[in-house]
Structure 1
Amino acid sequence: MSSDPLLQPYQLKHLKLRNRIIVTSHEPAYPEDGMPKGRYRAYHAERARGGVAMTMTAGSAAVSRDSPPVFNNILAWKDEVVPWVRELTDAVHEEGAAIMIQLTHLGRRTRWDKADWLPVVSPSHSREPSHRAFPKKAEDWDIARIVKDYADAAERMQAGGMDGIELQAYGHLMDQFWSPLTNELDGPYGGSLDNRLRFTFDVLSAIRERTGPDFIVGVRYTGDEMSEGGLTKADGIEISKRLRDSGLVDFLNVVRGHIDTDAGLTDVIPIQGMAGSPHLDFAGEIRAATGFPTFHAARIPDVATARHAIESGKLDMVGMTRAHMTDPHIVRKIIEKREDEIRPCVGANYCLDRIYQGGAAYCIHNAATGREETMPHVIPKAAARRKVVIVGAGPAGMEAARVAGERGHEVVVFEAANVAGGQVRLTALSARRREMIGIIDWRMAQCERLGVSFRFDTWAEAETVQAEHPDVVVIATGGMAHTEVLKEGNELVVSSWDIISGDVKPGANVLVFDDAGDHAGLQAAEIVAGTGAKVEIMTPDRSFAPEVMAMNLVPYMRSLQKLDATFTVTYRLEAVERNGNRLIAHVGSDYGGVLKQRHVDQVVVNHGTIPLDDLYFELKPLSRNLGEVSHDDLIAGKPQSVMRNPDGAFQLFRIGDAVAARNTHAAIYDALRLVKDI
């Protein structure tokens, strides 16, 4: 047996867990019609196949009709969920892992205009900032109804073969009862801590009565709201002891903080540029105070930290949830002594942020996550070896090289710079986004292992490519910053890239015009503001930086607000003219009827990229497919079959920003789904 602390089994009641690593409850928003169907099942089965001890589903499954999910969650209040849960649990069990599900009533953390348009219910009329609904104050019959709903849902999950359930008590209805900030009830469910906990113990008792003493039940809860007037650390320890002593609970899953605002949620679930494992020591204090099975997850992205969490006795089971979205085979790689091959979570939080904005979670640099039914995590070998030439070593080109190498092809990569990285290397220049370079570093290590040949400091021409006698050419040359967007004065502006790279020194009074809405605009603004300059960030959109998304926006706002940056929405920069040694920025609006001026000494434009596609168009007439991609073949997962020029020497494709300005995930997905079939 291995001496690795992470690989030791753990006995939780009657359930033997095969190691100490779990995927904690989370909702990637993959249900269909509120049910965990094929896509959901494939996602969790892949993590079970990768060796995790237990995968915990649903963050969280709704127990009541008046708890409508604000994104795509499992509807545990429906009887029809049972057979789908059975198929899910069977698939996970077949791979040797345990599986549990998290149940909840959202309380005020939802909206009244979802699903059945029922009033939002909570122990007070206090509105949650994130979801903005004003709740109804719960009546006695609401409480009785919801207690029964919890018991009904637990019974359904037991019937579906789940190994256990977890109740969610941070930011949702249970915690809304616990917290003095959100409980304004009188009588048996409000006032004292005893009364504020009564709803939880009513629910637990009802669940036990329905499911029996052997079914595993845990609670994921905040042990310290870290909010003035809310639950304190002392309260959390007392609650922890009461949960332990109740005889109704089998494990504690501890978090710290509050999630009613974007900033609060980001502190509970930190992203890149923030401290790693910030609540691990606190979870260890709860375990020490209770001596009870304790789980925890919060930015524990690497094996070394997870190992420390178990070896030091801080936790019984360590959650590596986002890490398993990045690499579902972490445990298998630990067992096989291949830890250096684990794909790193870079903390970009594209997964969580995209649930709200895009409707489903995807990993920024593992395009197979959430697409397990169509995209492979392990790349199969090709039937025949081919020569593949790739131009560009940004994220698209590096993924194409890795996948082609895994396929067993001979791969040559041309890159004009002296290192790989492209735009990822640029964005990683900012301290907060330094971890992004892991996207490139991991791929470079994989390419070296696979024998990919790199030709750095090489500007590839058509002749350069032809001299390699390729079977397939992939153009991944990316794009260049696009600033030619004004009616007049384009020559007077600089790009966000100019500022981030340090090629242009920031001015003293700067207008940042950002209509791409991505990280580059805010990164440039932060660099400029950090010099003490006056900065205005302007966008024609209704909100600024929409592509950055909620949790990623939090660190920028904390920095830029302290630096006194100004944010202006719904105004468009139209022209710039020189006025002595200063600039006049002419500002209009898409809504019409407005013309304003700004007197500044520098204008920074962030307008995405324009493709670097000259080489592609030079090679196009020489190719067999004339550059054409069959969308039908691509989507169906078939090799490209287009033949437009029988005399052509090679197939030609372009991917990533060489096609159009998008993002890192899109570039990597382009590469994976094309090259996996070459």
Structure 2
Amino acid sequence: MTKDPLLQPFQLKHLTLRNRIMTTSHEPAYPEDGMPKDRYRAYHAERAKAGVALTMTAGSAAVSKDSPPVFNNILAYKDEVVPWIRNLTDDCHEQGCAVMIQLTHLGRRTTWNKGDWLPSVSSSKHREPAHRAFPKLIEDWDIDRIISDFADAAERMQAGGMDGIELQVYGHLLDQFWSPLTNDLVGPYGADTLENRMRFPMDVLAAIRKRVGDEFIVGFRYTADEAQKGGITAEDGLEISKKLAATGQLDFLNVVRGRIHTDPAMTDLIPIQGMAGAPHLDFAGQVKKLTGMPTFHAAKIPDVATARHAVEAGLLDMVGMTRAHMADPHVVKKIMEGREEDIRPCVGATYCLDRIYEAGDALCIHNAATGRELTMPHTITPAATKRKIVVIGAGPAGLEAARVAAERGHDVVVFEAQPDPGGQIRLTAQSPRRRDMISIIEWRMAQCAARDVEFRFNTWAEAADVTALKPDVVITATGGLPNTELFETGKDATHVITSWDIIAGDTKPAQNILIYDESGDHAGMQAAEIAAAAGAKVEVMTPDRTFAAGVMAMNLVPYMRSLQDKDVTFTVTRRLLEVAQSGNKLAATIGTDYSDHTDIREYDQVVVNYGTMPLDDLYFDLKPLSSNLGAVDHDALIASTPQEVTRNEAGTFQLFRIGDAVSARNTHAAIYDALRLVKDI
């Protein structure tokens, strides 16, 4: 019997949860046709198999047709959802894991041009800034209809084998009623008293209880402090918590602090890298102490030590480690086996959430198997035959290739020109706020060290160095170097420096700077942040209609906060055409894709951020010596089957290139390249 607080069971009503770790409700946007089909099922089943006690699905499942699935939500208002839910719950239950689902009506947190194109409805007449749709002010018949929809959806989830449900009461329709900031109603559901504002969620709860009975588990995930002037205060939230406990109809409270109506608000509620860890944990503990209710909470609790403290100190009964389980679904299994050092760390990059809010699907920045459980392994199986693998480059792509090859049981040698591993990640981590990114490298180095991978640092590998090792497979992961060739001109921009020069500290920012950002990625914003902090006047320019598109929503927030009080401007739809010396200034010719207009502007310094060009000389030197001549069978790659291309019978090894050695992409793409190629070698 273990004494680890995290591994103690917890009794929730009639349900025994096998430990104190859960994944909280989140919508990875994996549904197909609004149904949680095989991809969705496999995602949750992987975490269930690895020991998580409770998986809370959906974020959230929509109960009404006028709650359009803006996050590719599960459509809980359709009867056909029941067998799909049953498949999911059966799989998780077979692994000893409890399963619940979060139900919601999105209210104004959606848009009218999704789903059935019905107008959004809300207790507020104002749009939610994040989704921009102006809602219809809800009527009495809407309220009656939606209450019934909640009860119908709860009954479907019960029929599908769910152990319980959670109602989403922050940022969505139920919370829009009870927040003074989003209730423009008069009458019994109006804004004048807390009792009136709480009436709608309480009516929904009563209708659900009447439909599903007393034994079915029902909880609220709710904001107990909106952390905004005019909204629900901490004192209000504690009073609300007492009222919820007093109903006798709720089985748990899942505590949230903050709002999600804007990108900055959501980033405070769900902190990303560089922000304080577990910022709302103590407040959740206050709710537990005050109410005595089973209390759940999640907000940047990425590590086992913090989770253990939350339970041991009596702050929580169940601790949510959702993003941590996207990075490594086997967290609980590794704790149980005494292998906490093997847990792949969540680095807080929040690539997962930012993709969802860009209408994509959730992917982990450095676990390419997450969301791809049907095709990609979380656990690497040994190969039938041991082979000699040579990897050139120790950035994220090269290290993932080395790790996977070593786990396959191969003999692996890695060449790296620099004295340290990391590639562009090491550059990224120069910014204090993004230093956690280096864990992507450190974890892989530790995994490689445990499997006797040989590293040769400070070595600029040439073809003879590689062939001397008599490899069976060579993987070039040499990355790229900054591109300064301007679009359509076919010429390198003269007199310019790159974002890398600013980030690395190789060049100091001048007084008046143009950062020409044609990539829209972190490097451009990092350079702007560094330059502005040094006192420079900065103009960030892009030919696109939006700036920093690759940084996405939540990750943009810390950059913008750091720049608001500095002399920084953003210019869109303008293209850098040429840079020339003009005395002690640089004259930049600026055009636009929208017309023939050009003008000339002067700066002290021009910084170009335009991705990288592959550093591929070694690849092309090795290509004629390889059996496949570097060719990749894309059909085999997509189908997760081995590469068997032969284009040169005299070749003595297979040759592949991955990551930015192919083309400028991102960290996830580089790691996915490596995993799906090497897992079959």
Normalised by the shorter chain, which TM-score bucket? Answer: over 0.9
Specify the alignment match of 1:66 in structure 2.
66
- 1:518 paired with 2:526, answer no
Structure 2 unaligned regions, length at least 5: none
Match of 1:242 in 2: 243
Shift of 1:484: 2.1
Contact 2:354/2:553 (<8 A) preserved: yes
TM-score by length of 2: 0.99
Amino acid at match of 1:167: L
Q: Which residue does the alignment assign to 2:402?
A: 401
The one-character-per-residue Cα deviations of 1:581-608 (angstroms, maximum 9, x if unpaired) are 1111111101013212221110000000
Are residue 649 (structure 1) and residue 671 (structure 2) matched?
no
**Quick one: which amino acid aligns to residue 252 of structure 1?**
L
Say which SS state the counterpart of residue 55 (structure 1) adopts: strand
SS in 2 for 1:209: helix
Paired residue for 2:97?
Answer: 97
Higher mean C-alpha displacement, 30-39 vs 479-488: 479-488
Q: Does the 8 Å contact 1:221/1:255 carry over to 2? A: yes
Q: Equivalent residue for 2:632?
A: 629
Partner of 1:479: 480
Equivalence for 1:617 = 620
Residue 119 of structure 1: CA displacement? 1.3
> Contact 1:64–1:77 (CA<8 Å) still a contact in 2?
yes
- Opposite residue 122 of structure 1, the aligned amino acid is S
Shift of 1:361: 0.4
Return the offset for 1:356: 2.6
Could you say which residue in structure 2 is the equivalent of 1:8?
8
CA distance in 1, matches of 2:387, 2:300: 41
| Distance in 2 between residues matched to 1:468 and 1:508, nearest whole Å | 51
Letter matched to residue 576 of structure 1:
V
Match of residue 302 from structure 2: 301
1:653, 1:199 → 2: CA distance?
A: 60
* Contact preservation (8 Å) 2:71, 2:359: no
For residues 52-131 of structure 1, the aligned pairs below 5 Å read: 52-131=52-131
Letter paired with 2:549: P
1:55/1:99 contact within 8 Å kept = yes
**Pairs within 5 Å for 1:253-652:** 253-357=254-358, 359-485=360-486, 487=489, 490-652=493-655
Query: Counterparts of 1:347 and 1:412 in 2: how far apart (Å)?
Result: 30
Percent identical: 71
Counterparts of 2:296 and 2:87, CA distance in 1: 26
Q: Structure 1 residue 161 and structure 2 residue 161: aligned?
A: yes
| 2:615 partner amino acid | L
Q: 2-side partners of 1:105 and 1:446: how far apart?
A: 44
Structure 1, unaligned stretches of length 5 or more? none
Q: Tell me how far apart the structure 2 counterparts of residues 169 and 506 of structure 1 sit (CA, whole Å).
A: 47
Secondary structure in structure 2 of the residue aligned to 1:252: strand
SS of match in other structure, 2:24:
strand
Rounded to whole Å, the distance in 1 between the matches of 2:333 and 2:124 is 48
| Matched residue type, 2:118 | L
Q: Give the conservation status (yes or no) of the 8 Å contact 1:178–1:197.
A: yes
Q: What letter matches 2:627 in structure 1?
A: R
* TM-aligned CA distance change 1:581 to 1:383, over 3 Å: same
Q: Aligned to 1:603, what secondary structure does the other structure show?
A: strand
What SS is found at the alignment partner of 1:306? Answer: helix
- Alignment deviations for residues 141-173 of structure 1 (CA, whole Å, 9 cap, x no partner): 100000000000000000000000000000000
Distance 1:357 1:218 in 2: 29
Aligned to 1:27: 27
Question: What is the CA–CA distance in structure 1 between the aligned matches of 2:386 and 2:83, rounded to whole Å?
Answer: 44
Question: Do structure 1's residue 233 and structure 2's residue 231 form an aligned pair?
Answer: no
- The one-letter amino acid of 2:524's match is G
Q: Secondary structure at the match of 1:434?
A: helix
- Cα separation, 1, equivalents of 2:17 and 2:179: 33
Q: Deviations over 1:177-227 (max 9, x none)?
A: 001111111111112111111111110110000000000000000000011
Instruction: Please report how far the alpha carbon of residue 358 of structure 1 lies from its aligned counterpart in structure 2 after TM superposition.
Output: 5.2
Measure the CA separation in 2 of the matches of 1:462 and 1:210: 71
**Cα drift, residue 126 of structure 1:** 1.3
- Write the distance in 2 (CA, Å) between the matches of 1:133 and 1:285: 36
Are 1:489 and 1:576, in contact at CA under 8 Å, matched by a contact in 2?
A: no
2 CA distance for matches of 1:537 and 1:575? Answer: 16
Question: Per-residue deviation at 1:337?
Answer: 0.4
d(CA) in 2 for partners of 1:596, 1:256: 49
Equivalent-residue separation in structure 1 for 2:347 and 2:57 (angstroms) = 23
1:88 counterpart SS class: helix
Q: Find the aligned partners of 1:581 and 1:220 in 2 and give their Cα distance.
A: 60
1:491 Cα deviation after fit: 2.5
SS state of the match for residue 578, structure 1? strand
How far 1:615 moved relative to its partner? 0.4
Alpha-carbon separation, structure 2, partners of 1:491 and 1:599: 14
Which whole-Å deviations, capped at 9, do the CAs of 1:407-452 have from their partners, x for residues lacking one?
Answer: 0000000000011000000111111110000000000000000111
The structural deviation recorded for 1:124 is 2.2
Conserved? CA contact 2:494–2:580, under 8 Å: no
> What letter corresponds to residue 123 of structure 1 in structure 2?
S
Report the Cα distance in structure 2 between the residues aligned to 1:477 and 1:174, rounded to whole angstroms.
Answer: 52
Q: 1:25-57: per-residue Cα shift (whole Å, max 9, x none)? A: 000000010000000000000001111110000
User: Structure 1, residues 223-263: CA drift from partner, whole Å, max 9, x if none?
Assistant: 00011111111110111111111011000000100000011
Q: Letter of the aligned partner of 1:434 in structure 2?
A: R
Worse-matched range after superposition: 119-128 or 150-159: 119-128
Q: Which amino acid aligns with 2:413?
A: V
Inter-partner Cα distance in structure 1 for 2:16 and 2:647: 59
Distance 1:306 1:489 in 2: 51
C-alpha contact 1:489 1:575 (8 A) present in aligned 2: no
Q: Is the 8 A contact 2:536 2:567 kept in 1?
A: no
Alpha-carbon separation, structure 1, partners of 2:108 and 2:640: 43
Matches of 1:113 and 1:467 in 2, distance apart? 61
Q: What is the aligned residue count?
A: 678
